[in-house]
Amino acid sequence: MAGPLNCCMVDELDLRILRELLRDGRASFRRIAERVGASVSTVASRVESMERRGVIRGYTALVDPQKLGYEITAIIALRISRNLLEVQRRIARNPHVYGVYDVTGEADSIVLARFRSREELSRFVKSMLAMEEVERTITHIVLDIVKEDPRPPLTEKA
């Protein structure tokens, strides 16, 4: 089989199973089997194989951060002078951070983080600026979330 599916270690049946898991991570193998047209044992073995290969990294609930008091979402661009990966890993350990990206362009890294107050955000940004490797931060405050979905776009032709 040629194309993008080879690079991702999944075939069409795996994709159909993944779509069902992304739609409802609590669905039984029986229900998934009915929806994808496979046997329960095939679905179970396929899911186990994808877990073992790291295609499925884990299972979690999708939670609304605002309902937990995290009213502020910040997108922070960083200029980092040296030790890029080490700095990114240090920042990633902060519990407010839910994404750290190594990027091209004027910034070296983009950090996505959530906060309950401006004071928390302020302390966080100042802690990053206190790192000697961080030259500059540019902080963007999200005004409204139009779409936010961590699930990958598993299209028919991946």
- Say yes or no: 103 and 137 in one domain: yes
149 falls in which pLDDT band (50, 70, 90)? Answer: confident
152 falls in which pLDDT band (50, 70, 90)? Answer: confident
According to the model, what pLDDT value does residue 38 have?
97
Alpha helices in 24-149 (DSSP H): 29-36, 40-52, 84-92, 118-129
pTM, 2 dp: 0.81
Any domain includes 152: no
**44-57 average pLDDT score:** 95
Any domain includes 151: no
Per-residue pLDDT reduced to its tens digit, 107-144: 999 999 999 999 999 999 999 999 999 999 999 999 99
- Select from 13, 29, 52 the last residue of a domain: 52
Q: Give SS3 for 36.
A: helix
CATH of the domain at 29: 1.10.10.10
Per-residue pLDDT reduced to its tens digit, 65-122: 999 999 999 999 999 999 999 999 999 999 999 999 999 999 999 999 999 999 999 9
- Say yes or no: 75 and 43 in one domain: no
Amino acid at 46: R
- Say yes or no: 79 and 133 in one domain: yes
7 falls in which pLDDT band (50, 70, 90)? Answer: low
